[in-house]
Structure 1
Amino acid sequence: MTTYTMAHPASIEDNHYQEHILQGVSRTFALTIPQLPPSLYPVIGNAYLLCRIVDTVEDDNGLSSEQTRKFAEMFIQVVSGKVAAEAFAEALFPLLSDHTIPAEHDLIKNTPAVIRITHSFNLTQRKALERCVRIMGQGMADYQDTESLAGLKDLAALNQYCYHVAGVVGEMLTELFCDYSEEINLNKPALMKLAVSFGQGLQMTNILKDIWEDRKRGACWLPQDIFREKGFDLNELQPGCTDPRFDEGLGVLIGIAKAHLRNALTYTCMIPPKETGIRRFCLWALGMAVLTLNKINQNRSFIQGEQVKISRKSVKATVLITSALARQDWALQQMFALTSRHLPEVDVLGKKV
């Protein structure tokens, strides 16, 4: 089989493009990724763009289910060097709808530049990126086929969904951190387990924030069993819902997300304190997720994600405080306890504690 892996090595222009497009497709990651050590910054920035391309394929409602699966599979082959990135970009770009933001249109058009950078990394890094894209791409295509307003079957199905879209990213980042540092690598088994929980905490926060935007496009990622136990049918869910049974179910999910974010803090504290850049990268995402959960918890009848989005002032405060405390595990634990004190206490199995 022909491979295209190093036909066109990455150039200075490719790297400039990567830095530029990161600003366009994610304000949050454009903020956190530069905190990483210089040798990790390019590979994790590239990894984010690869995931964003998969996300764009999955999210564009102008693509049929068959097209989504076709392009997801094609991109997996592109990342592994078996299909030319140019062929992928030329086939997908004209099919993108207005649902996809201009920066993502640009990203798809310039997939070859992103892939040239991907193929410049060492073997361990490339294998980590390839595995992540493969699991994410296949999983997203499968879940798109089953999207409905009825929600996912149960909490186990939600866990599986979160693994495919976020837990696997946590595993990839951990592989990259362990490749970068022998000291981090000593804790690899424990970190890998916690990484999946870290990813799930962030993803559940996004799912809760985006309930209404997802429903507008015909999707619901909430688990039926959690709400059924409270006597609520997700098919009956409407914006502005004030049903106390829905409120209770939402509280359980907020509590489960909090438990996963507590694991995220444990993960972060296992990173050597001297690696302040990696710790900041983790802490900023964690801190913003806790603040978002607080907003959702305080306004469970919100009708659009904008109502529970944290302010720029809150983002700046999170950055300043977590950066100042980045090396101090005890202080970080106290800060987590303080900022999450009003959130429900639920273990990751969904039971109140």
Structure 2
Amino acid sequence: MFDPQQATVTSKNGADAYQDAILPKVSRSFALTIPQLPPLLRRAVTNAYLLCRIADTIEDEPVFSAEDKRRYEDAFIDAVTGRIDSQQFSAEVAPLFSKATLEAERELVGQLPLVLEVTRSLRPAQRQAIVECLKIMSHGMHDFQRNVGRHGLATLRDMDCYCYCVAGVVGEMLTELLIDFDPALVSQRDTLMRLAVSFGQGLQMTNILKDQWEDYRRGVSWLPQDIFAKYGVRLESLQAGQKDSRYEAAMIELIGVAHAHLRNALDYTLMIPVSKHAGYRQFCLWSIGLAVLTLSKLQKNLDFSAGEQVKVSRRAVTYTIALSKMSGKSNTALRWLFAIAARKLPLTPLSAEWSAPPHANLIWPKSAIAYFAETA
């Protein structure tokens, strides 16, 4: 069993080695994509992902009450920013997680001081981007978790907001890290940031649709009520594995929305010059390719009852990687590959806010609005 008091390696090399060792234990997909980045950027992105994973682990722990989660999330941010001792935080919180949380995730919380050794060694702009992301993510997730249930989110706009809090903000952070790595991209910041939010939404929506029945079984749904109500479906009455033309119609519309966001994700990726950032493009392309393939499997299996049934096969992952490497230098070839992969997917036009600055028109929960006002 993991002991948060166990001895840890405290050298910088030891902290970096720990990051590389724990990453594949907490995320197979990011362990595949992050190594495509150049070393200096990879180090910062790995660190950012692990810190985001800790925030997510706290929010997902079933034995924590809403009050517990808010307290531990606030303490986590204080530990990251140095306002409280990170070792004390880890020693207090890590043993409280239940066996419902993966052992590797419990270990990661317990090893926060080691992860923060890397954080403190990053450039100031990198640290600032990571901290701002964590603040928005932690408070946003908590605001939504307090009221979520099988009834789902009220509207697609609420789903936009939720996806921003857990994924769009990560896209913004990654873009900030990239621009810090290559200041020549600063002239394209506004467009990249807008597309980064849409990129995050496309990936998060794909995960929500794929994992909806696992969420439902634990009493949660991130699906939008208004889209399903339009077809006469009540989310709290859904049953996994049943053929229902009304449910399928709503799912097709949402798959179309996710597809539209992934088109923006491709636009984002192709704005990154391959001559200087081939690794970053691969990092993005693999995520986009796997998401498109997942949406295709969902569309073909709308009566699925578990995410495992629509999971992309290892063979498909291998083909995706190979094709993106072969075509990665040609924007024309990449657009053609995307069109082929997505040719049978529905396409739902996005609403007007995706032509505006990032999250400018999203409707935030009142507590989130108050939080952003305090930290502006």
Q: TM-score scaled by structure 2?
A: 0.89
Alpha-carbon distance in 2 for matches of 1:241, 1:158: 24
Which residue in 1 is equivalent to 2:349?
347
Which residue in 1 is equivalent to 2:327?
325
Corresponding letter in the other structure for 2:302: R
Corresponding letter in the other structure for 2:34: I
The question of whether the paired residues in 2 share the 8 Å contact of 1:10 and 1:120 is answered with no
SS at match of 1:39: helix
SS at match of 2:347: coil
User: 1:180 aligned to 2:199?
Assistant: no
The correspondence for 2:340, drawn from 327, 338, 352, is 338
The question of whether the paired residues in 1 share the 8 Å contact of 2:255 and 2:299 is answered with yes
CA separation of 1:10 and 1:174: change in aligned 2, threshold 3 A? farther
Shift of 1:349: 3.0
Alpha-carbon distance in 1 for matches of 2:11, 2:218: 37
Alpha-carbon distance in 1 for matches of 2:80, 2:299: 40
Which residue in 1 is equivalent to 2:285?
283
Aligned residues, how many? Answer: 343
Shift of 1:151: 0.5
Corresponding letter in the other structure for 1:315: V
Shift of 1:336: 0.7
Alpha-carbon distance in 2 for matches of 1:271, 1:193: 14
The correspondence for 1:305, drawn from 304, 307, 325, is 307
Alpha-carbon distance in 1 for matches of 2:125, 2:17: 24
The question of whether the paired residues in 2 share the 8 Å contact of 1:184 and 1:272 is answered with no
Which residue in 1 is equivalent to 2:138?
137
Alpha-carbon distance in 1 for matches of 2:307, 2:64: 24
Alpha-carbon distance in 2 for matches of 1:10, 1:347: 51
Residues 87-126 of structure 1: matches in 2 within 5 Å? 87-126=88-127
**What's the RMSD between the two structures over aligned residues?**
1.3
Q: TM-score scaled by structure 1?
A: 0.95
Alpha-carbon distance in 2 for matches of 1:78, 1:109: 12
The question of whether the paired residues in 2 share the 8 Å contact of 1:210 and 1:305 is answered with yes
The question of whether the paired residues in 2 share the 8 Å contact of 1:46 and 1:114 is answered with yes
Alpha-carbon distance in 2 for matches of 1:36, 1:202: 19
Q: Describe the superposition over 1:83-110 as per-residue Cα deviations: whole angstroms up to 9, x where unpaired.
A: 2211221111111011111110111111
Which residue in 2 is equivalent to 1:5?
none
Shift of 1:342: 0.8
The question of whether the paired residues in 2 share the 8 Å contact of 1:9 and 1:117 is answered with no
The question of whether the paired residues in 1 share the 8 Å contact of 2:26 and 2:105 is answered with yes
Alpha-carbon distance in 2 for matches of 1:227, 1:321: 36
The question of whether the paired residues in 2 share the 8 Å contact of 1:89 and 1:111 is answered with yes
What runs of 5+ residues in structure 1 fail to find an aligned partner? Answer: 1-7
SS at match of 2:69: helix
Alpha-carbon distance in 2 for matches of 1:80, 1:347: 41
The question of whether the paired residues in 2 share the 8 Å contact of 1:183 and 1:272 is answered with no
Alpha-carbon distance in 2 for matches of 1:206, 1:163: 14
Alpha-carbon distance in 2 for matches of 1:149, 1:59: 16
Which residue in 1 is equivalent to 2:360?
none
Alpha-carbon distance in 1 for matches of 2:55, 2:64: 13
Shift of 1:10: 5.6
Shift of 1:191: 0.0
Corresponding letter in the other structure for 2:103: P
The runs of 4+ residues in structure 1 deviating greater than 2 Å are: 182-186
The correspondence for 2:294, drawn from 287, 292, 295, is 292
Residues 60-99 of structure 1: matches in 2 within 5 Å? 60-99=61-100
Shift of 1:9: 7.9
Which residue in 2 is equivalent to 1:4?
none
The question of whether the paired residues in 2 share the 8 Å contact of 1:256 and 1:349 is answered with no
Residues 166-205 of structure 1: matches in 2 within 5 Å? 166-205=167-206
